[in-house]
Amino acid sequence: NYPLQMAAWKVAPAIACGNTVVLKPAEQTPLTALELARASAEAGLPAGVLNVLTGFGEPAGAALVAHPDVDKIAFTGSTAVGKIIQKQAADTLKKVSLELGGKSPNIVLDDADIDAAVKGASMAIFYNTGQACTAGSRLLVHEKIRDEFVEKLLKRAAGFVPGDPLDPKTRLGPLVSAEQLDRVMGYIAQGKSEGAELLMGGDRVEVNGKPGYFLNPTIFGDVQPRMVIACEEIFGPVLAVQTFTDLEEAIQIGNATEYGLAAAVWTRDVRKAHHAAHQLRAGTVWINTYHNLDTASPFGGYKQSGYGRELGRYALDLYTQVKSVWVNLG
């Protein structure tokens, strides 16, 4: 989703701690890693410090995980692949950190600033075409404000028109590949078959009269907690809207997932906000905002969203080892 950023989050602390790096980018997005290596060499980074290995997960990635001279694996990607890496790394007992999938709840209480929450909810799911591990793909709205909120959300979502990703005016670019588009369309079909109400979107579109991996912003209403579109990471511009009656139910629904990467709460009551932030099992909780990150703030997941923390001083722990040295001075 953000190939250069994901690489930088790993390469920078690793090199700062005195390590050399072998970077294996996703096979769909190798160019940014190669450009990073080229720019680093031009800036004076010694040869052999940053190395880029392009290729598929099997065999290129698997070879790195299995190699006895590789001391540490840092991976960002799907939970399914993360589990494979963890199992393979067990053979050499190497250190592993995993930043995996998410199904983040975006909770809107009945005392929230509705206009601000609508803006935040649309960016939470449609930013980067929903191709973000932190995407707010589950929108939990208090039943008292559900109708007003959804009406305003649909109007705002209509402004996310698919377009050329090289056009600065584009607000909704393509999905990364035909494979991913087919996967997302499969989830949309499943949402319909399970009885969720398709409120908007769900269709492939052409841009400038040409086909591509483009999809309209898609919003489902009347989504029940056990529906597939409420449980599995879709990684596309597909939003599942659910309702709740009180804060405790919202927290329960929010935590009813195998993931735990991020969550958000919209409310004017600071006590409710902090209570929810404490109870939600997620590595990052936003209050009256979404998608905020900073290099000083640790980032990582609970449960099957992975373990280890990138960014901040915690990132240094991923690329160092502790040693005790005793000296007899007698």
| pLDDT, tens digit (0-9, with 9 covering 90-100), for 109-163 | 999 999 999 999 999 999 999 999 999 999 999 999 999 999 999 999 999 999 9
Place of tokens 């790096």: 21
The whole-number pLDDT of residue 247 equals: 98
Tell me, yes or no, if the pTM score tops 0.85: yes
Q: Check 42, 133, 231, 258 and give the catalytic one.
A: 133
Q: Check 27, 99, 197, 232 and give the catalytic one.
A: 99
Q: Which segments of the chain have a pLDDT < 70?
A: none
Give the 3-state secondary structure percentages of the chain, helix then strand then coil, rounded to 5: 35, 20, 45
CA dist 112 and 4 (Å) reads 35
Task: Say which DSSP state 129 is in.
Answer: G
Told to judge if 99 belongs to the known catalytic residues of this protein, a careful annotator would answer yes
Q: Where in the chain is the domain with CATH 3.40.309.10?
A: 105-287
Q: Which CATH architecture has domain 3-100+301-318?
A: 3-Layer(aba) Sandwich (3.40)
- CATH number 3.90.1150.10 is the correct assignment for the domain at 105-287: no
CA dist 84 and 89 (Å) reads 9
Told to judge if 231 belongs to the known catalytic residues of this protein, a careful annotator would answer no
pLDDT digits (tens, 9 = 90+) for 246-261: 999 999 999 999 999 9
The whole-number pLDDT of residue 1 equals: 77
